Structure 1
Amino acid sequence: MAKYAFLFPGQGAQAPGMMKDVCEAYPECKKVLDDVSAIWGKDVAKLMWEADAAELSRSDNSQMAITAASIATVKALEAKGITPDAVMGFSLGEFPALYAAGVLSFEDVIKVVAKRGAIMQKVCEQIAQENEGHAPGMTAVIGLGPDQVKEIAGKCENVYAANMNSPVQTVLSGTFDGLTQAEALCKEAGARRALRLAVAGPFHSPLMQRAADEFEKAIADVTFNDPKIALFSNVTGKQATSGAEIKKNAVLHLIQSVLWTDEEKVLLDMIKSSGEEWKLYEPGPGKVLSGLWAKCGLEIGELSCSEINTAEALNNL
């Protein structure tokens, strides 16, 4: 019998109308959205299916929409008898991963994500005001190695290497002006692309320290249990085994880099050492992580990661 690893997408995976066909085909999914709406106090289904891209990209909206969609997909997979033996999430995706691993209850993960999204949105707006209305953000640099991108970031004010996505893709966080300078330098250095992302702020960088401080207070009374299955951390790039460590990392997560390539390697090493058959799924909107897995630079053989973001994909399992 195969084992399963779930890789949960992060902010930026959202799209208007996302996963509507899944929720219409699988009652378990629509129930998750109804339950999320009851806890959050807003209609998450309406947000996912009727909001425009600008409204959906706000941190306080996109984080909840992606979390709800990811957990809904987990429920549809459970209905097919597919449950994870290992989980990891990219950035925001760590929170549905925490739910899937039993670290946070359903109610707690929705409340925590609501607080996180609201805090991050507020701080991003403050940073924009402090920079003459120019919104901070993130830029994906494609075609340069991570060390080269880090060196370029060091030459720019308020720019940081935030996400280690693949050997040839690194994401920068920074102020509007800082990213504009960094994008030009990356292109001069031979980058194939330097693409500004559809996110609301300079995530996973020291520019989010105010958000980290506020978020730490917001989750002080929330219980983080020890994970029931293998769970990997963006902050350390390694497996996380205690609720206390995971809670600490949830705060550091806002200001430290996402070590995704490290996590991929640790997961692959675990799979290879197990000697068992594994299948990798990306439950939730988009297919970014499936693409990154294919380009991770590791000897993955035929072990692909399949996106599960349509009713057809679920029906074919």
Structure 2
Amino acid sequence: MKALVFPGQGSQFVGMGKVLYDSRREIKDIMESANDILGFDILSIMFEGTDEDLKKTKVTQPAIFIHSVACVKAVDATGAQMVAGHSLGEFSALVANGVLSFEDGLRLVSKRALAMQAACDVNPSSMAAILGLNDEVVENVCSEIEGIVVPANYNCPGQLVISGETPAVEVAMLKLKEAGAKRALLLPVNGAFHSPLMQPAQEELAKAINETKFNKPIIPVYQNITTTAVIDPVEIKENLIKQLTGPVKWTQSVRNMIKDGANYFVEVGPGKTLQGLIKKIDSSVDTATAL
């Protein structure tokens, strides 16, 4: 059973999408429409910008979304029986399974990026990758620290990202090293994604999501918050809103997809990060890139 999976922030690279843009007229038209929707020339930044240009949240998130949806249009996505996306990738997954149009998806992604950036500017906050510990140990240490620091991304066994106020994250990193973590690395992001500090962004995004038409999906989406198959558009909306302040439970989602029959995962979008994570979750499944 084939599953399509869509990457999130961090998979961007200079030149992303150019091959897709040049491949077919219909893909070129879709990608060019993004400039009009966003109100700036994002394609030039994707194709010819600098790493620094691409790292800006208002650019990164729409760029990855555009690349991922263009990939869906360029490959044979038929035969897939489920979809999932890592954080931002959930929006791409919802276009692939018919819940959102490209235009509505891009508007929501842009709104999400701007709202997240604004929330980041309010409080000094950060994220850190913790390697080599059981999830329960990380959860327990975070719960004992003064200030806001929470598990944010359950990427694969032995790799959990924490998120929160910078002082609390730094204390957590020290305590987690003492608890036996192989490494504790600050990530090059400018805010505490998937933590309570994203509450202002969540409120803004919720308004936009509730004003957007969500169609009934053609195949289930395994959402970051629930980790299980969802087909009800109302529930999909609710989970998408909760995702901004809640953790990305990728390990649990992939395990549930495998339990429900997935044995072939196709990563749709820039990079190969998700393939690596999926292999660490269950080495028996097959993985591939869309292009």
Task: Map 1:115-194; keep pairs closer than 5 Å.
Answer: 115-128=111-124, 136-156=125-145, 157-194=147-184
1:12 aligns with 2:5: no
Task: Map 1:166-315; keep pairs closer than 5 Å.
Answer: 166-271=156-261, 279-296=264-281, 298=282, 300-301=283-284, 303-308=285-290, 314=291
Any idea what SS the aligned residue of 2:130 has? strand
The letter for the 2-side match of 1:304 is D
1-structure distance, mates of 2:27, 2:287: 22
2-structure distance, mates of 1:30, 1:198: 32
In structure 2, relative to structure 1, the CA distance for the partners of 1:194 and 1:29 (3 Å cut) is: farther
Any idea what SS the aligned residue of 2:152 has? strand
The answer (yes or no) to whether the contact 1:173–1:202 under 8 Å persists in 2 is yes
- TM superposition outliers: structure 1 runs of 4+ over 6 Å: none
The answer (yes or no) to whether the contact 2:119–2:197 under 8 Å persists in 1 is no
1-structure distance, mates of 2:167, 2:133: 21
The answer (yes or no) to whether the contact 2:94–2:100 under 8 Å persists in 1 is yes
The letter for the 2-side match of 1:194 is A
The answer (yes or no) to whether the contact 1:57–1:200 under 8 Å persists in 2 is no
The answer (yes or no) to whether the contact 1:59–1:199 under 8 Å persists in 2 is no
Deviation at residue 199 of structure 1 after TM alignment: 2.8
Instruction: Give the root-mean-square deviation of aligned CA atoms.
Output: 1.9
The answer (yes or no) to whether the contact 1:58–1:199 under 8 Å persists in 2 is no
Query: Which of 60, 63, 82 is matched with 2:61 structurally?
Result: 63
In structure 2, relative to structure 1, the CA distance for the partners of 1:22 and 1:198 (3 Å cut) is: farther
Any idea what SS the aligned residue of 1:102 has? coil
The letter for the 1-side match of 2:134 is G
**Structure 2, unpaired ranges of 5+:** none
1-structure distance, mates of 2:140, 2:245: 19
In structure 2, relative to structure 1, the CA distance for the partners of 1:183 and 1:27 (3 Å cut) is: farther
Find the counterpart in structure 2 of residue 96 from structure 1: 92
Any idea what SS the aligned residue of 2:88 has? helix
The answer (yes or no) to whether the contact 2:97–2:218 under 8 Å persists in 1 is yes
2-structure distance, mates of 1:279, 1:27: 30
Percentage of pairs with the same residue: 38
2-structure distance, mates of 1:20, 1:195: 32
The letter for the 2-side match of 1:45 is L
The letter for the 2-side match of 1:148 is V
Deviations 1:256-300 (A, max 9, x none): 11111111111101216xxxxx5321111121110110000x4x5
Scaled by the length of structure 2, the TM-score of the pair is: 0.93
2-structure distance, mates of 1:86, 1:149: 30
In structure 2, relative to structure 1, the CA distance for the partners of 1:198 and 1:13 (3 Å cut) is: farther
Deviation at residue 46 of structure 1 after TM alignment: 1.3
Deviations 1:68-117 (A, max 9, x none): 01001111113xx6563211000000000000111111111011111111
Any idea what SS the aligned residue of 1:6 has? strand
Deviation at residue 25 of structure 1 after TM alignment: 4.2
**Structure 1, unpaired ranges of 5+:** 129-135, 273-277, 309-313
The answer (yes or no) to whether the contact 2:197–2:245 under 8 Å persists in 1 is yes
